[in-house]
Amino acid sequence: MINDTIAGISTAVGNSGITVIRLSGPQAFLIADVIFKGKSTVQEQESHTIQYGKIISPKTGDIVDEVLLTKMESPRTYTREDVVEINSHGGYTIARTLLNLLYESGARPAEPGEFTRRAFLNGRIDLSQAEAVMDIIQARTQRVSKVAVKQLEGSVSKKLDDIRERLISLLSAIEVNLDYPEYDAEEVTLAQAGNTTKEIIGILDELINSFSFGKLLREGMEVVIAGRPNVGKSSLMNRLTRKNRSIVTDIPGTTRDIIEEYINIKGIPVKLVDTAGVRETSDKVEQQGVERSVKAISEADFAIVMADAHTLLTEEDEIILKKVQEEGKPFVLCFNKVDLIKEEKRERLKKNMPEAVFMSITEDIGIEALEERIFKFATENIQDMDNQVLITNTRHENQLKKAKSYLEAVYTASQTGMTLDMVALDLKAALEELGKITGHYADEDVINAIFSRFCIGK
């Protein structure tokens, strides 16, 4: 807890363009070198200089982000330890990936207030501020545990409980054999331990996949672009996709009428959905497309209703707008092709419809304004978007992954004929990692389970 290397986020994520990820501790440079590729290695980089480079996932070789990396050698740093700061423009998703890479490369998630605590312990912060430091630690911890509780509500928590319950059940069955060999509790065989562990790994995988972020942050906020044909939906889609770094390429298997694209607006992951033109139609084939579009609107978190500034709202536009309103979707009305109307008319329209966005994709007018509206909606409506959520999330994710690696060791041991005492060692380690998320102590749970589930005694 005292001499290791920690990583965490030192700026707010999401609302500012830049996220700073900080590494502090004796192995900061070494760990940074595992994921950073620049002109020189971090270890060779001169102290208190900035260098440009790429973050590359050591496992996949993928480029995760382009960043600026600052190296600061002890003691002239915030914590008085060796410090690396990575400036990323990527927002939530990228910050999360970066943190995970650092954790996988040997850094430990920083505890709440830990950078400050280290700064103090290393003499960087004046004695007169000791109380303030202690307050920060306590306050941040409370904040984090609040967030953690919030995160753990619902299905995630149920799944986690389920995994813990299975682990406790397996481990207590093994422990009762180890601690009470003379009683007739059923012996757990290595094969059984292996099989059960494999099942648990399966559930844990599901949890890891579903746990990390809420649906919004995991899959992105779903934004649908609706409008009658030829108002410029596809152009908008292309424009936004080109401008904003695409996180995931096209999802295959989507219908020919709906194109989905993942983009990143100011750090918010957004799933952009382009619909076929929605209009009342009797054509059978087209009817299907329309139905799908209506469905896309109903599933989206937010709608961009596009119309033509030249024609203003046509009857068809009104129908689409009505659909959106019927679904109760928050939306923004966008008038494209403002370049085709006169300045004077444009001003008048703006005055009459202050809520609408007037844009021209070809002339690159109003795109920023549209993005701003999407971002504003996201940040206003998603309560739990702040640093603590991200930090809590990545920490939990890290613990789940660690638990998984212990369980994998259990499985291997069960296959190679290791003894049960060693198997129990890793099972307990896995349970402890999960316990860090829920605040349970493995020892107590297992001993209680032994006494309540098995009949032992003199």
Distances (CA, A) of 318 to 12, 306, 338, 456: 41, 11, 19, 75
Within its chain, how far is the Cα of 293 from the centroid?
Answer: 28
Q: Interface mask (CB under 8 A) for another protein, residues 136-175, using x and -?
A: -xx--xx--------------------------------x
Contact between 421 and another protein per CB under 8 A: yes
Contact between 250 and another protein per CB under 8 A: no
**How does strand 6-9 pair with strand 19-24?**
antiparallel
Contact between 63 and another protein per CB under 8 A: no
Closer of 35 and 413 to another protein (Cβ): 413
Contact between 194 and another protein per CB under 8 A: no
Q: Interface mask (CB under 8 A) for another protein, residues 422-441, using x and -?
A: x-xx----------------
Judged by CB under 8 A, the residue of 68, 133, 258, 382 near another protein is 133
CB of 128 to another protein, least distance (A): 9
440 φ/ψ angles, rounded to the nearest 5 degrees: -100, 155
The pair of structure tokens assigned to 61 is 């070789």
Q: Give the residues across from 308 on adjacent strands.
A: 336
Task: Please count the CA atoms within 13 angstroms of the CA of 198 that sit on its side-chain side.
Answer: 11
CB of 131 to another protein, least distance (A): 5
Judged by CB under 8 A, the residue of 91, 113, 269, 277 near another protein is 113
Contact 28, 82 (CB under 8 A): yes
Alpha-carbon gap, residue 272 to 220, rounded angstroms: 9
Contact 392, 147 (CB under 8 A): yes
**Which one, of 287, 232, 296, lies nearest residue 259 by Cα?**
296
CB of 138 to another protein, least distance (A): 5
Closer of 130 and 191 to another protein (Cβ): 130
Task: Please count the CA atoms within 13 angstroms of the CA of 424 that sit on its side-chain side.
Answer: 18
Q: What is the DSSP letter of 267?
A: T
**Which one, of 147, 142, 272, lies nearest residue 214 by Cα?**
147
Closer of 80 and 228 to another protein (Cβ): 80
Judged by CB under 8 A, the residue of 3, 249, 352, 383 near another protein is 3
Closer of 216 and 410 to another protein (Cβ): 410
Contact between 447 and another protein per CB under 8 A: yes
CB of 426 to another protein, least distance (A): 9
Alpha-carbon gap, residue 304 to 233, rounded angstroms: 9
Contact between 192 and another protein per CB under 8 A: no
Q: What angle do CA 383, 219, 204 make, to 5 degrees?
A: 95
CB of 412 to another protein, least distance (A): 11
SS3 content of the chain, % helix, strand, coil (to 5): 50, 15, 30
| Segment interacting with another protein, rule: CB under 8 A, options 5-13, 17-25, 59-67, 444-452 | 444-452
Closer of 112 and 366 to another protein (Cβ): 112
| Segment interacting with another protein, rule: CB under 8 A, options 22-30, 56-64, 131-139, 371-379 | 131-139
CB of 371 to another protein, least distance (A): 39
Contact between 2 and another protein per CB under 8 A: yes
Judged by CB under 8 A, the residue of 50, 63, 149, 178 near another protein is 178
Closer of 217 and 424 to another protein (Cβ): 424
Closer of 3 and 383 to another protein (Cβ): 3
Amino acid identity for residue 439 in this structure = G
Provide the Cα torsion 158, 162, 164, 165; round to 10°.
Answer: 130
* Helical ranges in 356-456 per DSSP H: 367-381, 387-416, 420-438, 442-453
**Which one, of 59, 399, 410, 442, lies nearest residue 207 by Cα?**
399
Binding site for another protein (CB under 8 A): 1-3, 111-114, 117, 120-121, 123, 127, 130-131, 133-135, 137-138, 141-142, 175, 177-184, 416-422, 424-425, 443, 446-447, 450-452, 455-458
